[in-house]
Structure 1
Amino acid sequence: MRALWLAEGGEFVPPGAGDFNLPPIFLGITKPMLLVVLSVVIIALFFVMASRRLSVVPSRFTFVAESVYDFGRNNIARELIGSKEFRPYVPLIVTMFSFVLVNNIFGLIPVIQFPTFSHIGFPLALSLLVVYPLWHYIGIRRHGFAGHIKNQLVPPGVPKPVLVLLVPVEAFVKFFMNPLTHAIRVFAAMFAGHLILIVFTLAGQYLLLEASGPLKPVSLVSWAFAIAMTFVEALIQVLQAYIFALLAANYISAALSTDH
C-alpha cells in the first residue's frame, strides 16, 4: 500500500476499500493468493515438525501444537458435535481453525501486513465450497435427502398453519443467509480492523511530516492508538478464527441431529 495518502495541495486522503485491491505480482497472481498458499505450508510444517519427536514431556514447540489440537478437538468439536460423534470431524475443525487463524495473523506480521480474509472471496470460498457441502452431505447421509431438508426447515412442535410462513423463512436463512454471514463475519472483522490500523498509522505519519508545528506532537497520539488497536486486532483475529470453526462444528451438529 502507499506510504502516504496525499491529495493535491498536501491534504490527507484516508485509505479506503480500493486500497485492498492489490495489483498482481506476476501472471495474475496476487499477494493474497500467495499468502493462502504460504499459510497451508506453514500449518503443514508446524504440525509435521511438532509430531516428529513426541515424548512424555513435550517440548515447548510440541506443547503449543498439542494445545492448538486439544483446543480444536475438545473445546470446539467435542463441545458442539457431541462426545459420541465428534472424532471423524476433528481434523477438519482443527485445520479450519488453524487456517483462518494463520491467515488473520498475517495482518500483524511485519512486511506481510495483510490479513488474507480481508478479501471476501477467501472466507466465502471456505464457507460455500467446504462447510456447506459437508453440511448437506452429512445430513443426507444420516437422514436421507427428504429427511435432511425436513430436519432443517421444519422445527419440531410447530403448528402446521404456522409452517406456511415459517418454512420459507427457514429456507432463506438456512440456505442463503447462513453461508453468507458465516463468511462475512470474519471478512468484516479483518477488513475493518486492518483499515483502522492503516488510518491511525498513516494519520500519524501525515501529522508528523505535513502538519504545522503545534500539530506534529499529535502524531504520537495517533501512533499510540495504532499500537493499542494492534493488540485489540490480535485478540479479534484469534476470536474470529474460533467463531468460524465453532459455527462449522455447529452446522455439522445440526446435520447429525434430529431435533433443532
Structure 2
Amino acid sequence: MSAITAPSPGPTKSGMSTAKKVGLGLFGFWLAGLIFFIAVFGFKSHKAPAVASGVFTPTNEFKLDTWFAVGPIDFNKGVLYVLLAAVLTIGILGYTVRRLRRRPGRLQVAVESFYNLTDSLAGDNLPGEDMARKYFPLIATLFVFILVTNLIGYIPLPVNSIDKFTIFGAHLPSFQIYAADTNVAFPLMLALMVFALFSWERLKHNHYNPLAFFKSLMPSGVSGPIVPLIFVIEILSYFLRLISLTVRLWANLLAGHMLIAFMGGELGVLVGDQWVQWLLLPLGIAIYAFEAVLIAALQAFIFSILTAIYLGDAVTSH
C-alpha cells in the first residue's frame, strides 16, 4: 500500500505594503521628533520675546499692510491675491478654449465635466432657456474665480510683511498661506453684485413696481393677522441673503486658515513649547489637506448654486 503524501506548502510571502511602510516610517519619525523636543527643551515654557511682550499675535497674518498706494488705492497682499486669481482665471479659461479638440484629452474631459455641472446649476434653478443662457457665464465664472481664489490661498507665498525675517541683513516678508476671502471685503463685494442682480431681476419681473416687488416676497396662501409678522420675516430673510452669501464664504476660509496656522505651529509658539508644535503638526497637515481638497471647491460650489437659486427665485411667483 503506497502512501500518498500531500505536497508541502511553498514559502508564504510575508511583509507589509509600501503604504504601510511609509506610514510607519512617518509615525516613527514624528514620535522620535516628539521625544527629542521633550528631552531637549522639557515641558517648561520658552516663549519668544515677541510673544511674551504681545508684539506677535496670530491675527497679524490677516492684517493688510499697505505696500504702496496708487492714488486712492492701497496695494497690499489682499489686492495681490485678487489680481492673481483674476489673471489665473482668465488664463486657465483662455488656455482651455484654445486647446479644444474633437478627440478630448484629460484636460478637455475635466473642462467638459465642469461645463456640464455649471450648465445644470443654471438650467435646474433658472426658469426658461433664455435666462439660463443669460446667467450661465456669470455662474460659471463665479465658480472658477472663487475656486482659483481659494486654491491659491493654500500656496505659501512671501507676503507677510508685518512679521519679517532677516537673511544676510535683508528684512524679507515671511512666507504664509493667505486667501483674499479671509478679508470680509472681498466676499462682500461678490455678494453685493449677486444681491443687486437678483433684486434687479425681481423688480423687472414685477414691472418696476416697488409695491409689487415687496408684495412678491410674501408666500401665497398667507392671510389674516399673521400677515404683518410674515411680511417682516420675509423682508429680513431677503436682506439676510446678502449677509449669508458674505459670511459663509468669509468665515469658512478664515476659520480654516486659522486652524491650519494654529495646529501647524502657532499654538506651540504662543505657549512657548516646541514639543507642542511637533505634537500638533500631523493634525495641521490633515486640516490643510481637508481644506485644500474639499472646502475650497465646496465653498465655490455653494456660492455659485445660491446665486442661481436666488436669481431663479427672483422671477418665480410664490
The TM-score by the shorter chain falls in which range? 0.7 to 0.9
Q: Tell whether the 8 Å contact from 1:6 to 1:12 is kept in structure 2 after alignment.
A: no
- Equivalent residue number for residue 8 of structure 1: 49
Q: Distance in 1 between matches of 2:156 and 2:50?
A: 31
- Equivalent residue number for residue 212 of structure 2: 147
- Equivalent residue number for residue 35 of structure 1: 81
What RMSD in Å do the two structures reach over aligned CA positions? 2.6
Would you tell me which structure has more helix in proportion to its own residues?
1
- Equivalent residue number for residue 124 of structure 2: 79
Q: Which of residues 229, 251, 270 is equivalent to 1:165?
A: 229
C-alpha spacing 1:135/1:182, structure 2 compared with 1 (3 Å): same
C-alpha spacing 1:30/1:80, structure 2 compared with 1 (3 Å): same
Q: Distance in 1 between matches of 2:315 and 2:67?
A: 44
- Equivalent residue number for residue 240 of structure 1: 299
Stretches of structure 2 lacking an aligned partner (at least 5 in a row)? 1-45, 158-175
Q: Distance in 2 between matches of 1:161 and 1:29?
A: 54
- Equivalent residue number for residue 101 of structure 1: 147
- Equivalent residue number for residue 24 of structure 1: 66
Find the residue that maps to 1:225 and give its secondary structure.
helix
Q: Tell whether the 8 Å contact from 2:265 to 2:277 is kept in structure 1 after alignment.
A: no
Using the TM superposition, give the Cα deviation of residue 55 of structure 1 relative to its aligned residue in structure 2, in angstroms.
1.5
Structure 1 length as normaliser, TM-score? 0.85
Using the TM superposition, give the Cα deviation of residue 16 of structure 1 relative to its aligned residue in structure 2, in angstroms.
3.8
Using the TM superposition, give the Cα deviation of residue 7 of structure 1 relative to its aligned residue in structure 2, in angstroms.
5.2
Using the TM superposition, give the Cα deviation of residue 61 of structure 1 relative to its aligned residue in structure 2, in angstroms.
2.5
Q: Deviations over 1:7-39 (max 9, x none)?
A: 539659784444311311221211111111121
Q: Distance in 2 between matches of 1:123 and 1:54?
A: 32
- Is structure 2 residue 293 aligned with structure 1 residue 230? no
Using the TM superposition, give the Cα deviation of residue 196 of structure 1 relative to its aligned residue in structure 2, in angstroms.
0.7
Q: Deviations over 1:189-224 (max 9, x none)?
A: 0111000111112247649xx63xxx63x5433110
Q: Distance in 1 between matches of 2:266 and 2:231?
A: 50
Q: Tell whether the 8 Å contact from 1:106 to 1:116 is kept in structure 2 after alignment.
A: no
Q: Tell whether the 8 Å contact from 1:204 to 1:220 is kept in structure 2 after alignment.
A: no
Q: Distance in 1 between matches of 2:147 and 2:139?
A: 12
Q: Tell whether the 8 Å contact from 2:260 to 2:284 is kept in structure 1 after alignment.
A: yes
1:93-242, aligned counterparts within 5 Å?
Answer: 93-111=139-157, 113-128=177-192, 130-144=193-207, 145=209, 146-152=211-217, 154-175=218-239, 177-203=240-266, 206=269, 211=273, 216=275, 218-234=276-292, 235-242=294-301
Structure 2 length as normaliser, TM-score? 0.70
Using the TM superposition, give the Cα deviation of residue 6 of structure 1 relative to its aligned residue in structure 2, in angstroms.
5.1
The answer to which of 30-39 and 143-152 deviates more is 143-152
Would you tell me which structure has more strand in proportion to its own residues?
2
Identity %: 28
Q: Tell whether the 8 Å contact from 1:197 to 1:229 is kept in structure 2 after alignment.
A: yes
Q: Distance in 2 between matches of 1:123 and 1:135?
A: 17
Find the residue that maps to 1:158 and give its secondary structure.
coil
Give, as a single letter, the amino acid of the residue that structure 1 aligns with 2:88.
I
- Equivalent residue number for residue 92 of structure 2: 46
Find the residue that maps to 2:101 and give its secondary structure.
coil
